[in-house]
Amino acid sequence: MKVLVTGASGQLGVDTVAVLERKGHIVLGCDRHQLDITNLEQCQQVLGKFAPDVVIHCAAYTAVDAAESDVDGAYLVNATGSRNIAVAAEAVQAKMIYVSTDYVFDGQSMIPYHEYDNTNPQSIYGKSKRAGEILVQTLSSRYFIVRTSWVYGLHGNNFVKTMLKLGQEKPNLRVVHDQKGSPTYTVDLAEFFAELMLTEKYGIYHASNSGSCSWYEFAKEIFKQANQVAAVEIIAQLEPCTTEEFPRPALRPTNSVMEHMSIRTNGFVDIHDWSKGLNVFLQNYYNQNKK
């Protein structure tokens, strides 16, 4: 299939392009210099020329805290940009995968969120991504909305890399213990995209690695596995703290855990446990650093 990937230089985009190429698809990966998603005419021109069968829309404004003071910027990319891609994709009759987020929920549920639970985003980032969802649902006749959470990969900055660095530098580390979610390895998510796009099982999906943990528990597992995989010496003593003790401009969901009901009911195999995804990432990370 011919697949166009937006945000191709981001941590999810890079791995999505790589996974699709490895599977033999014809892929056009576009970063912001090759495709300005905020420019409707350019979106129509690029998609019209390439004529993809599928568009995987990874490009997004993801600076959660910065979005609180850059409201127009967040909506320009996440809402208007997503509208432009949806319009251009529909014109060439392409399927569209829109990558969304756990931040569309308020995080107050006591149980994991289902795909069709009511959304109630609390941050500008979450509201702008929800706006993108609505526009895609309105303008595309062949859409998959894939909500994910706590994403990390080999390319770009993320929590795992930060913890590995600080764990070897700081004697003490305080990590939030009252926010719960599902860490997601980019390659595992890209593999799901590659499977999903071959179908016509349109709708909303929650896709993360299975299982859940707090940020504190995630950090503990990162340190444990880094030592097992590469004999990394971690000097930091981990200490749990509350969200109130670590204030940020944007509200974080207390509960980010999402049920994978659509994956199950549509006959897909669920994505493996987050600790297994972390193990594969760490092996790749340290193998890459050896080269």
Mean pLDDT within 70-88: 98
What are phi and psi for residue 7, nearest 5 degrees?
60, 35
As to burial, measured by CB atoms within 10 angstroms (0-12 exposed, 13-18 middle, 19+ buried), residue 69 is: exposed
Annotated catalytic residue: which of 125, 152, 216, 285? 125
Active site residue 143: no
The predicted pLDDT at position 247 comes to 86
DSSP letter string, 217-260: HHHHHHHHHHHHHH-----PEEEEE-GGGS--SSPPPSB--B--
93 backbone φψ class: left, alpha, beta (φ>0; ψ -120 to 50): left
d(CA 51, CA 35): 14
Average confidence score pLDDT of the chain:
97
- Judged against a pLDDT cut of 70, whether residue 90 lies above it is answered with yes
Mean pLDDT within 221-239: 94
Mean pLDDT within 202-206: 98
Which pTM does this prediction carry? 0.97
As to burial, measured by CB atoms within 10 angstroms (0-12 exposed, 13-18 middle, 19+ buried), residue 242 is: exposed
The predicted pLDDT at position 291 comes to 59
- Judged against a pLDDT cut of 70, whether residue 42 lies above it is answered with yes
Residue bearing tokens 């009759």 = 93
Angle at 46 between CA 44 and CA 47, to 5 degrees: 65
Q: Which amino acid is at 131?
A: A
Domains, the chain, ordered by start: 2-158+182-212+257-278 (3.40.50.720)
The percent of residues in the chain predicted with pLDDT above 90, rounded, is: 96
Two structure tokens written together for 74: 């967040």
